[in-house]
Amino acid sequence: MTTKRAAIFDVDGTLVDTNHLHVVTWWEALRQAGHHVPMREIHRAVGLSGSDLLDHLLGDPDVRDPDEDEQLVAAHHALYATYFERLPALDAAGDLLRTLAGRGWRIVLATSASGAELSALRRAIGADDVILGAAGADDVADGKPAPDPVGQARELAGVPSERAVFVGDTVWDMEAALRDGVTPVAVLSGGIPRADLETAGAQAVYRDPADPLGSLDSSVFADRE
C-alpha cells in the first residue's frame, strides 16, 4: 500500500485571484464579436476550457462558426494577457503549498490554463520549488468537468485516487474530482456560493487558501496523513 499522497490544486480562483479578470476579458471578447452575455453567466462558466465555455454560453457548437470560436478564444487570451505581469496570488497560497509539501504531500496543479498563461500563474503563486508538475489544457483531451485534468495530475504525483485531494473553486472542479475518485475540497475565493459547491460534491469548504493553513491538523488534509 502506497504511503504517498497528493494535494492537487486548481489555479484560477483557488490559488490566484483571477476569476473576475476572466469574466471581464471574456465579456469584452464576446462583446466585440456582437454577443451580449451577462457577466453573471460568464462567472458561472469560468473554469471550463475556452471551447467548453463558449458551448456553455452560446449554445450548440454545430450551429456556430468554428472560425469565430477560435477568434473569441484568441481575443480573450490577448485581453487577459495584459494582466500576466500583475496577477495577484490569493493570501497564503504559496505558504499552503509549501507547508503541505513539508508534511510529505506531493503538490500538483490541474488547470485549464496552459503555455504563457500557466507560466504567469505559477510566477504569481511563487512556489515552484514545491510544485511537482501541472496538468494544463495542452496535456489532456477534455477539460473539467471531465476527470482528465485531475487524473493526469494524480498520475504525475504517482498516487491512487483514494490518496489524493483536489482543491478547486467551481462546481466543475468538484465534478471532475468526483469523477476521478479523489476527495473534492472547495474554496470560496472564486465567488461561487458554498451551497452550490456542496451540492456539486465538496466534502469540505474553506474561505480561501489561508483558511485550511491555519488549522491543518483538523482539516481534510489531516484525514489522509
Looking at residue 73, its pLDDT comes to: 95
Cell numbers found for residue 56: 456553455
Whether the full predicted model's pTM is greater than 0.85, yes or no, is yes
**Overall residue count recorded for the chain in this entry:** 225
Per-residue pLDDT tens digits for 135-149: 998 899 899 999 999
Average pLDDT over residues 68-93: 97
Per-residue pLDDT tens digits for 164-219: 999 999 999 999 999 999 999 999 999 999 999 999 999 999 999 999 998 899 99
HSE-up of residue 126 (Cα within 13 Å, Cβ side): 12
Distance CA 178, CA 159 (A): 16
Q: Provide the β-strand partners of residue 46.
A: 48
Domain ranges of the chain: 5-17+87-224, 19-82
Q: Provide the β-strand partners of residue 16.
A: 12, 89
- Per DSSP, 142 falls in state S
H/E stretch holding 204: strand 204-206
Cell numbers found for residue 47: 473554469
Question: Is 223 a residue whose pLDDT tops 90?
Answer: no
Looking at residue 2, its pLDDT comes to: 58
Q: Is 184 exposed, middle or buried (0-12, 13-18, 19+ CB in 10 A)?
A: buried
Which are the contacts of 56, defined by CB distance < 8 A and separation ≥ 6? 45, 48
| 225 — pLDDT class (breaks 50, 70, 90) | low
Question: Is 10 a residue whose pLDDT tops 90?
Answer: yes
Same fold, 5-17+87-224 and 19-82: no
Query: What kind of fold does domain 5-17+87-224 have according to CATH?
Result: Rossmann fold (3.40.50)
Per-residue pLDDT tens digits for 101-128: 999 999 999 999 999 999 999 999 999 9
Distance CA 19, CA 94 (A): 18
Looking at residue 168, its pLDDT comes to: 98
| 62 — pLDDT class (breaks 50, 70, 90) | confident
Distance CA 174, CA 165 (A): 11
Looking at residue 224, its pLDDT comes to: 64
**Can you state the angle between helices 115-125 and 66-81, rounded to 10 degrees?**
30
Give the E-state strand segments of 66-130 in sequence order.
Answer: 105-110
Distance CA 40, CA 37 (A): 8
| Reported CATH class of domain 19-82 | mainly alpha
Question: Is 76 a residue whose pLDDT tops 70?
Answer: yes
What percent of the chain stands above pLDDT 70? 98
| 48 — pLDDT class (breaks 50, 70, 90) | very high
Question: How does the average pLDDT of the chain come out, rounded?
Answer: 95
